Amino acid sequence: MLLIIIIFFRNGLKKGEKMDNDILDALEKFDEKKLTDLFLNDPEKTRMFLDIPDDSWEAKFYSFIIYFLTHIDVPEEKAKECYFEILEHKYILSEKMDRDIGIHTAAMDYFLNITRQLKNPKIIEASLLQEIMKMGKEDQKTGCFNAKFLHEYADKEIKRSKRYSQNLSVLILDIDNFKTLNDKYGHLFGDKILKKFVEVLKASSRDEDFLARFGGDEFIVLMPQTGRIGARALAERIKSRLQEYFVDKEFHKEKVSVTFSGGIATYPYDADNFETLMKRADQALYKSKFLGKNRVYDYLEEEYLQNLSNVSDKRQYKRYGLKKNAVIEIGDKNSFFSIKGKIVDISKGGILLECLCEVADNLLTRNLGLKVDKIGDYSLDMPLSGNIVRISKDNDKLKFHLGIAFKEFLNDSIWVKIENSGALWAKEKVEVI
């Protein structure tokens, strides 16, 4: 319910639409005048806080207030009338007692003695109630939210994203070789790794991101209003900070390295519900594990790359630069849309392009085509074709890089001709396209 939003806001779960401290204070102290000034006189703020359409904000607001006071659900069509009856009851009780009764007492007496909806109420301090509710949502070992609350929260975020036509990305993270570390150094060491991993997750993510432990050494980051580029940027921040922390760390006089594999899926492009979105991200995670771990793939990449390797053939391709800078064009003939980019390097499996123009995240969904009929001074007998599978931004140099996977590998005979043409120079980096 909406009370949970307030409780967990106090415990670190900040919404994308941040609430002012005066709103929280008004709710927790139940300052009637302040609430009226903040909410009823400002419908836009009410709608933002309650995350509801324009036509039903008032009814939902009164339902929320009553639930906040008593944990009783009152139908929306009766909530406003009920609220003002409670205020009238408060006035009557205060007159009889010759002192201000307070809205909490009036509400409880109203439902206990007037409507008799309460039969056997128990009194519990709000801070204790908050702690109990928090325990039901939190993973005790790491302090992240647990899998049960993840599903509750994610379903709500999917609905919000649909309503406002926004992206929502899921990042699944799995610590590489965690069982080996756990078995080798013991469970206490394993627990320390989990806690440090969560610490890095929290330091790397935004206030509005939702972190949950999905089980064992697997974690979920839910990112509202975030597309593929933003999700990958978060994954790279986590990877960099983990590497910085463990670079000089030793355990039992041995260097310990902690890495992770990740999978990304984005609503609405990859799925229209959370369950399917998780399956898509998990498929991308599997690809990351299969291709050697310590890397992150998203579902769209997984779709394009599934034909690049199979269970019996893990191929790695040496990448080559071009001796002469070559600019090529990718685009969509039907919409007359195109982007020009300089070839950074090339392999049997694909090309990496550098673009100085800004590249939109949804470019991955447009299935833009690429055709290359010349590499350096060598003209190809059959043009190469491919699709964009990765977009990354170089923030320092204001450049975008596009990873393009060929639909078919360059066969060995053509590749030998290209190498012999003198068009290429070898690069030290070896990676999977």
Alpha carbon distances (Å) from 315 to 163, 286, 409: 43, 16, 11
Q: Is 393 exposed, middle or buried (0-12, 13-18, 19+ CB in 10 A)?
A: middle
Q: How far apart are CA 243 and CA 288, in angstroms?
A: 18
Which residues is 222 bridged to in the sheet? Answer: 170, 210
Residue partners of 78: CB distance under 8 A and separation at least 6: none
For this structure, is 217 an active site residue?
yes
Please work out, in degrees rounded to the nearest 5, the angle formed at the alpha carbon of residue 54 by the alpha carbons of 48 and 56: 100
Question: Phi/psi class of residue 111: alpha, beta or left (left: φ > 0; alpha: ψ in -120 to 50)?
Answer: alpha
- Which is the catalytic residue, given 51, 174, 217, 270? 217
Alpha carbon distances (Å) from 177 to 78, 289, 312: 56, 10, 21
What HEC string does the chain produce? CHHHHHHHHHCCCCCCCCCCHHHHHHHHHCCHHHHHHHHHCCHHHHHHHHCCCHHHHHHHHHHHHHHHHHCCCCCHHHHHHHHHHHHHHHHHHHHHHCCCCCHHHHHHHHHHHHCCCCCCCCCCCHHHHHHHHHHHHECCCCCCECHHHHHHHHHHHHHHHHHCCCCEEEEEEEECCHHHHHHHHCHHHHHHHHHHHHHHHHHHCCCCCEEEEEECCEEEEEEECCCHHHHHHHHHHHHHHHHHHHCCCEECCEECCCCEEEEEEEECCCCCCHHHHHHHHHHHHHHHHHCCCCCEEEHHHHHHHCCCCECCECCCEEEEEECCCCEEEEEECCCCEEEEEEEEEECCCEEEEEECCCCCHHHHHHCCEEEEEEECCEEEEEEEEEEEEEEEEECCCCEEEEEEEECCCCCHHHHHHHHHCCCEEEEEEEECC
Which residues are identified as catalytic? 217
